[in-house]
Structure 1
C-alpha cells in the first residue's frame, strides 16, 4: 500500500498514456491540417473521402479488374503549365496514388513501364523495349509508333526523374506512383504535364487513331459492355432469389451484354434471418435469446431474346433423381455419370445435346445451368469476373452448337451465335 495519499502508480501510468495519446493525436491533426492547407493553397481541391465514380471511364489496369475498387485522398487541380489533373489513391493498385490527365481525344491502349515497374493484368498483342530498359505494350503497333514519335521525348525525360508507370487509357493519361508531399507532387505533376501536353498538341498526327469515347462508368478491362456497381438492390425486384428473412441487399454487381439482344447480370445476394433459442445461464435459469444469422448466395443470370423449352443440366445426384425424377440418358456414359439432364420436352434436350455438343461440354468442364422462362441460370463456382467470363464463354459455345433446325423450330430466322468452319464463335451483327 502506498503512503501519503497520492495517486497510485497505476493511475499515474494511465494518465501518462492518455497524455501521450493526446499528444500523438494533436500531432497527427496538425500535420493533416498543414497537408490539406498546402494542397488548397495551390488552388487545388481536396476530398478525403471521394466516391468511386472518380474512376469512371478508366479500364486499363490497375483499373477495370476485380471488385476491389475503393478510392481515397482525391486531389483535383491544374498544373503550373495549365494542364488539368486528378490524383487519388486506388485500392486495386495497392493504394498507390494514380494521376490522370486528359489528352484531348480517346486513343488506343498503350502502357509504358520503366525498370522495376509493372501493371499487373495488362494484356497486349505487341511488345517493345523503351530506351533504358523499360517495357512498351500496345494494342495497335501503328498507334504505338505514332505515340512514341509524339510523346517519347517528354516521357523519357519524366522517366529519368521518376519511376515510369504510364498508360493511355481512353482519353486519359494515367501514371501510377505519385508522391503525397505537396511540393514533391507539384514537381511530379509538372513533369508529367509535359507528356500530356505533347499528346494534346499532336491532334492531327493522332487523329487517325481516334476511338469511341469511353463510357463514364466503372468498366472492365477488354470487356467494353461490362460495367460494375458496388450494389444495385433494384435487381431484387426483377431477379429470382431466396426470399424470407430481412435486410436483403446486393453487392459486387456486374452487368453486361452476352450477345445481341441478350444481357447478363451477376451479383451476391445477402440477407439475414433470426431465430430464438433457449439456453441455461450460470445460475441454472432458463433464458431465451435472439440469434441473427447472415446468409449469401451468388446469382448469375442471362436474359435471352427468344423462348425455348426448359432444360436443366445439373451435377449427377442420387437425391436429385429421387425428388426430381429420372434423368434423360445420352449416348456418352461419362456425360450421364457426370450430369443429370431434365426437360419437359425430351426431344429438345436430345436436339441441343447432340454428341458433338456433349463432347464440347465435357471438354470445357461445364458448370451446371438451367434454361427456363427465357432466362439461363448457372450454378457459379465463385463470384469473380473470371468465373463470369468462363460461364459466358461456355454458354456461347453451347448456343453456337445448336442445330439450324432448332432455331427454325423456335422461330429464330438467324441464329444469334454460330460456329465458323475453324471452330470460332461468330456473333450475329444486327
Structure 2
C-alpha cells in the first residue's frame, strides 16, 4: 500500500513538472523544479515557520513588463508524540515582482486574520484616516511615510472595492512586492496573483521610487 502511494505521488509530480514546463515555454518563462535559495529570500509570512521548508515549481520571467518569480512554498509542522504524532504540510502559492528600487517593508493584510501573520522585527501597526480601511485591513510598516505614499486615497478606495484585496495579503520588502495565498500552485492562482500584484504597482505613484 505504501509503495502504491509513493508511485502515485511520483506520477502526480511528473505530470506537474510537465505541465509547468509547458506553461513556462508558452510564455517565454523559465521553469525550475526546485530552488533552495527562495526558501530564505523573503521575510515574514508565510516564510520562516515550521520545518522542511521548500520552494518548488519555480517560474521566472516577465509579466506586464515586470520581472517575476512564482512558486509553490511549503513547510511542515509536527505536533504530539508517539501514536499521536502528526505532521501537516502547509502549501502556498507565492508571487514576487521586482520593484523599480528597494524600499522599506510594508505589509497589508485583512484585519480579522492579519494578527496571525508572522511578525517582523522593526514593524509597527499604522492607522490611516479612513476608519473603514482601518477596520478592514491591518497595516504594518517600518516607515510611515512610505506607507502613506503607497496607501493614498485612490489606492484605498480601490482596495476596499476589489475582492482580491480582501483575501490576498501583500508585502513590499527590499526590492520586491510579494503576494501569496494558501494552496498548491496552479495556473489560475498564478494568474490571479500576478495581475493583482501588477495592479498594485500600476497604482503606486512614480515618485516613491525616486531617490
Q: Secondary structure at the match of 2:127?
A: coil
Matched, 1:269 2:66: no
Alignment of 1:407-426 (within 5 A): 407-408=209-210, 411=211
1:371 paired residue number: 172
Over residues 233-260 of structure 1, what are the superposed CA-to-partner deviations in whole Å (9 max), with x where a residue is unaligned? 43455434345534x5444433332455
How far did residue 270 of structure 1 move?
4.5
Instruction: State the TM-score, normalized to the length of structure 1.
Output: 0.36
Matches of 1:375 and 1:221, distance apart in 2: 21
The alpha-carbon distance between structure 1 residues 328 and 223, as it changes in their structure 2 partners (threshold 3 A), is farther
Return the TM-score normalized by structure 2.
Answer: 0.67
How many angstroms apart in 2 are the aligned matches of 1:270 and 1:357? Answer: 33
Match for 2:111 among 300, 316, 323?
A: 316
Task: Find the partner of 2:34 among 198, 222, 232.
Answer: 232
Any residues of structure 2 matched to 1:37-76 within 5 Å, and which? Answer: 70=15
Whether the 8 Å CA contact 1:266–1:301 is kept in 2: the answer is yes
Query: Residue 218 of structure 1 corresponds to which residue in structure 2?
Result: 21
Determine if the alignment matches structure 1 residue 349 to structure 2 residue 147.
yes
What is the CA-CA distance between 1:297 and the residue it aligns to?
A: 2.7
In the TM superposition, what is the alpha-carbon distance from 1:336 to its structure 2 partner?
2.2
> What is the number of residues matched between the two proteins?
186
Counterpart of 1:297 in structure 2 is: 91
Secondary structure, aligned partner of 1:330 = coil
Q: CA deviation at 1:223?
A: 5.9
Q: Between Structure 1 and Structure 2, whose CA radius of gyration is higher? A: 1
Matches within 5 A, 1:174-189: none
Residues 245-256 of structure 1: matches in 2 within 5 Å? Answer: 245-246=51-52, 248-256=53-61
Higher relative contact order at CA 8 Å, sep ≥6: structure 1 or structure 2?
2
Q: 1:387 to 1:252 in 2, by over 3 A?
A: same
Q: What does residue 6 of structure 2 align with?
A: none
For residues 197 and 139 of structure 2, what CA distance do their matches in structure 1 show?
Answer: 16
Distance in 2 (CA, whole Å) between partners of 1:336 and 1:239 is 30
Where does 1:96-245 land on structure 2 (aligned, <5 Å)? 218-220=21-23, 224-229=27-32, 231-236=33-38, 238-240=40-42, 241-242=47-48, 245=51
Per-residue displacement from partner, 1:47-101 (whole Å, max 9, x unpaired)? xxxxx9xxxxxxxxxxxxxx98639xxxxxxxxxxxxxxxxxxx98xxxxxxxxx
More helix per residue: 1 or 2? 2
The answer on 1:339 being equivalent to 2:137 is yes
In structure 1, the partner of 2:190 is: 388
Deviation at 1:274, TM superposition (A): 6.8
CA RMSD of aligned residues (A): 3.7
